[in-house]
Amino acid sequence: MEWETVIGLEVHAQLATKSKIFSGSSTAFGSEPNTQASALDLAMPGTLPVPNEQAYRYAIMFGLAIDADIAKTSVFERKNYFYPDLPKAYQTTQLEKPIVGAGHVEIELADGTKKSIRIHHAHLEEDAGKSLHEDFHGMSGIDLNRAGTPLVEIVSEPDIRNAEEAVAFAKKLHSIVTSLGICDGEMSQGSMRFDVNISVRRPGEEFGTRTETKNLNSFRFMEDCIALEVERQIDLIEDGGKVVQETRLYNGDTKQARSMRSKEEANDYRYFPCPDLLPVVLDNDYIESIRQTLPELPDARHDRFMEQYGLSSYDANILSGDANMAQFFETAAKASGDTKLTANWIMGELSARLNAEDQSIKHSPVNAEQLAGMITRLVDGTISSKMAKQVFEAMWNGDGNADEIIEAKGLKQVSDSGAIEAMVDEVIANSDKQVDNYRNADESKRPKMLGYFVGQIMKASKGQANPQQVNEILLKKLNDLI
């Protein structure tokens, strides 16, 4: 019998503010442990939080981008639980009156289907610190640099039906927050983290019991984890068991998941309005002034890419999705002057290399200008596609710009027809047997026999002859012999 999967996502995005949500500590990533943890971040007595306006502004930008209502009055609450990386023993968050109300996000699937995913709400909250469980004489180490980093938590409705939709939705959110410039989107640094709520049911029936898998920080892990959990739940039910509501942890490296805690022993968070913080009241003019600052959003950019660069919807989706990718493409396309070739190189070779090394385009070893420089030489015939791969490889390894590499490696393609003719003549003169075979062969068999000659000519030119010219000249000369 058929099963239907029901998925809802909770997405944490770190906001790209310079300072924390309630203190003036820096939010810079990668500093020495606890050097960015102030008295307030450490929950010292006598400290009082003051909210960061920029965090509010960023959350509102997100709300406007997903067509949501922005709350004129929003309230911070305390979510109480004990964990050493949360020194106050409560997280300051929003529950009853979050800053961003209901909205929606459109996704497009590989087959071109479009779907709208509803957002229940999005709220502001503070991030916790980090616990390091390596062995410190049987103790855990706590780094509170991250404690108090502003987060926007985006909560979807259970509108997602499979892993493909979940990943498309997650990528779309990534695209929106990076396009808005409110989050750097660096998943490997934990700038965006996804909690996935999964249940299964017979189509048309009530929702099944759900489990929540927390803190996924890669799209690939999300896809794998959903497949694994759906299979686990179906097997469990078909074997006569029951799904238990619980939190699960997924390990992307071992592709295994385990239960973290079941709901029975789960925390009762005892939310209540934070007495240290007053309600934040905003007026229409303020919200409208933020609307005026919204940059181009992914959907608009997608349509513009199709129109302006003649890209297919699918290609435009890939190139416009990530704000950094879009910028890379536009810079490279303008500099090289060949949009199609630029698009192909970015979606092909460059993306493949970035994926293989789990690197974001922002940190690509080959920048947009360098790629454009290589494509320019490809277009003007200086190098062949095969040579371009070598040039790309060298640029990736930091050997310099295309022109420097072409010069240093002597990769210039020979396009001088006189020189190519001489090489063709020589190869034909030294290949009596093959020429005879060619002459006597059936016309339909001849094209296949060209390979030998082309190979010899390319060898004679040390791979530098322009292949297109070689083909043309060779064909003409051989046919003259018939």
Partner 1 sequence: MTIERTDIEKLAELARIELNEATIAETTQSIADVLALVDQLQAADTEGVEPMAHPTDAVQRLRADEVTETNHREAFQAIAPATEAGLYLVPKVID
- The contact set with partner 1 (CB under 8 A) reads 17-19, 23-26, 32-39, 42, 50-56, 75, 80, 82-84, 97, 131-133, 136-144, 249, 260-261, 267-268, 270, 273, 275, 277-281
Q: Which residue has the tokens 């909690």?
A: 195
Q: Closer to partner 1 by CB, 110 or 139: give it.
A: 139
Q: Which residue has the tokens 């606890």?
A: 34
Residue 14 beta carbon to partner 1: minimum distance, rounded to whole angstroms: 14
Residue 55 beta carbon to partner 1: minimum distance, rounded to whole angstroms: 8
Residue 166 beta carbon to partner 1: minimum distance, rounded to whole angstroms: 24
Residue 108 beta carbon to partner 1: minimum distance, rounded to whole angstroms: 34
Single-letter residue type at 133? H
For residues 188 and 142, give the distance between their C-alpha atoms in angstroms, rounded to a whole number: 20
Q: Which residue has the tokens 């997924």?
A: 250
Q: Closer to partner 1 by CB, 76 or 194: give it.
A: 76
Residue 73 beta carbon to partner 1: minimum distance, rounded to whole angstroms: 8
Token pair of 212, please?
């929540």
Q: Closer to partner 1 by CB, 207 or 272: give it.
A: 272
Residue 25 beta carbon to partner 1: minimum distance, rounded to whole angstroms: 4
CA atoms within 13 A on the CB side of 15: 30
68 close to 119: Cβ distance less than 8 angstroms? yes
Q: Closer to partner 1 by CB, 133 or 433: give it.
A: 133
Q: Closer to partner 1 by CB, 54 or 401: give it.
A: 54
For residues 2 and 14, give the distance between their C-alpha atoms in angstroms, rounded to a whole number: 39
Residue 109 beta carbon to partner 1: minimum distance, rounded to whole angstroms: 35
Q: Closer to partner 1 by CB, 24 or 348: give it.
A: 24
Q: Closer to partner 1 by CB, 256 or 267: give it.
A: 267
Which runs of consecutive H residues, i.e. helices, occur in 252-297? 284-291
For residues 481 and 120, give the distance between their C-alpha atoms in angstroms, rounded to a whole number: 76
Q: Closer to partner 1 by CB, 259 or 308: give it.
A: 259
294 close to 288: Cβ distance less than 8 angstroms? no
The SS3 call for residue 339 is helix
Strand intervals (E) in 263-410 = 272-273, 280-281
Residue 384 has phi, psi (to 5 degrees) of -90, 170
Cα–Cα–Cα angle for 262, 263, 268, nearest 5°? 130
Residue 475's alpha-carbon distances to 91, 319, 446, in angstroms, are 75, 40, 10
Number of Cβ within 10 Å of residue 368's Cβ equals 22
Residue 466 beta carbon to partner 1: minimum distance, rounded to whole angstroms: 56
